[in-house]
Amino acid sequence: MNKMKIECMAHLENESFIRTSVMAFLLPLNLSVEDCMEIKTMLAEAVVNAMIHGYDGNENGIVKVEVNYDEREIEIIVEDNGCGINDISLAMQPLYTSKQHLERSGMGMTIMQTFADDFHIDSEKGKGTSVRLCKKINYENETIK
């Protein structure tokens, strides 16, 4: 198993640093282009959600990203200590957004859930949110048992 952790201020410009760092860390896995795109997309959605929704625009918050992988699976955990999610089942509905004024599409949770092989979210009002994304590694010409 290999693992890394990154902590950044909740500045939107840090999302690209986090995404690039995570993809560089995963480079030894020699992932397919499709898997790379799905991982980058899930990660970007989770990080931007933490920054925009978790801290409600307060750039003094911290976003934490932990990545673990072995020969079969990648696990990504994105955490914030922000405001938490009032109603997770509502937040999971496609097209729902609590930030209509920012012209958010409301598809972030749906995108993460679609691309992840396992998706889990924990949130507590006033304490923050943790999103866990798992992606199985599919090697070409190999049947995973």
pLDDT in tens, 76-108: 999 999 999 887 777 767 655 655 555 555 577
What span, in angstroms and rounded, lies between the C-alpha atoms of 57 and 77? 21
Residue 60 annotated as catalytic: no
The pLDDT value recorded for residue 97 is 60
Residue 138 annotated as catalytic: no
Percent of the chain with pLDDT over 70: 86
pLDDT above 70 for 140: no
* Residue 116 near residue 43, CB atoms below 8 Å: no
Maximum Cα–Cα distance for the chain, whole Å?
47
pLDDT above 90 for 74: yes
Write the pLDDT tens digit of every residue in 4-48: 999 999 999 999 999 999 999 999 999 999 999 999 999 999 999
The pLDDT value recorded for residue 33 is 94
Which among 15, 19, 38, 45 is annotated as catalytic?
A: 45
For 121-131, b where at least 16 C-beta lie within 10 A, e where not — what string? bebeeeebbbb
What span, in angstroms and rounded, lies between the C-alpha atoms of 123 and 48? 16
Structure tokens that stand for 111 in this block: 């995108």
Which among 66, 68, 104, 132 is annotated as catalytic?
A: 104
What span, in angstroms and rounded, lies between the C-alpha atoms of 1 and 7? 21
Residue 49 annotated as catalytic: yes
Write the pLDDT tens digit of every residue in 103-122: 555 577 888 999 999 999 99
Assign 57 a pLDDT band (cuts: 50, 70, 90).
Answer: confident
Which among 49, 58, 86, 132 is annotated as catalytic?
A: 49
Cβ contacts of 141 within 8 Å, gap of 6 or more: none
In the chain, the amino acid numbered 126 is G
Q: Taking the alpha carbons of 40, 138, 78, 2 in that order, is the dihedral positive or negative?
A: negative
* Residue 109 near residue 63, CB atoms below 8 Å: no
The pLDDT value recorded for residue 58 is 81
In the chain, the amino acid numbered 122 is D
